[in-house]
Structure 1
Amino acid sequence: MLQFNINYFGLTILLFFTEVLIALFVHDAFIRPYIGDVLVVILMYCFCKSFANLPVLPVALFVLSVAFLIEILQGFNIVAKIGLEKSKLANVVLGNSFSWIDFLTYIVGFLIIIAMENRLAKKVR
């Protein structure tokens, strides 16, 4: 079950730096709010698959559930409730603004994961 996968880890690093670059340098109304949210689901998936040799669907569903949970917590203003509203890190990691459209972006990320993993599985066969 626990097994390091260099390929997923490499993708994790690449996606992480992409997210950092988006956060630092992209201040638009499309890439940062939407593409960034799509990529964060893929980033979390790749991170999980870097260390756990588990089937695609359970990991993808777990990551989607975590993304949904974080978005719901944003709706309850969790960062302020736990006293971390002045923490830049907490605001970046947990977020501080709820949006219904984010659920759709997370689902798009989930679907990209499933599609890419299915494509890779067919290529291997």
Structure 2
Amino acid sequence: MFQFNRNYFALTILLFVMEIAIGLYVHDNFIRPYFGDFLVVILLYCFLKSFVKVSVWVAAALVLLFSFAIESAQYLNLVEKLGLQHSKIAKVVLGNSFAWMDLLAYTLGILAVIIMEKILFKMKG
């Protein structure tokens, strides 16, 4: 089940660098809030596939479920309820504001992954 995949790991690093660049240098109303969320699920998918040998469908479902769980935690103000509102790490990991459009961005990101796997990489599983 555990198997290192250097191609997915390389994509993970590339996407991570892109996310950092977006976070540091892009201050707009589209790329940072929506495209960043679109990319983050692809990043998580690639990270998972870097170390765990699971099907495209299982990996995609796990990442989407995780992303929706984080967004739900934002909806429930979990950071504040846990008393972590002053923790920068908690705010970065859990976020601090719920948005329906984030759920759409996550879904579109996972759909892009599935399409890429199916068309470009001849998806297995």
| TM-score, structure 2 normalization | 0.94
Equivalent residue number for residue 92 of structure 2 = 92
What's the secondary structure of 1:121's corresponding residue? coil
Residue 83 of structure 2 aligns to a residue in which SS? Answer: coil
1:123 Cα deviation (Å)? 9.1
Would the alpha carbon gap of residues 65 and 86 (structure 1) be closer, same or farther in structure 2, given more than 3 Å must change? Answer: same
Aligned to 2:17: 17
Structure 1: 5+ residue runs without aligned partners? none
Gaps of 5+ in 2: none
C-alpha displacement at 1:89, in angstroms?
1.5
Cα RMSD over matched residues?
Answer: 1.4
Please list every run of at least 4 consecutive aligned residues from structure 1 whose deviation after the TM superposition is greater than 2 angstroms: 120-124
Equivalent in the alignment of 1:71: 71
Counting aligned pairs with the same residue, the percent is: 57
- Name 2:110's counterpart in structure 1: 110
Distance 1:48 1:86, change over 3 A: same
**Residues matched between the structures, number:** 124
Q: CA deviation at 1:17?
A: 1.0
Write the mapping of 1:34-53 to structure 2, written as runs, cut at 5 A.
34-53=34-53
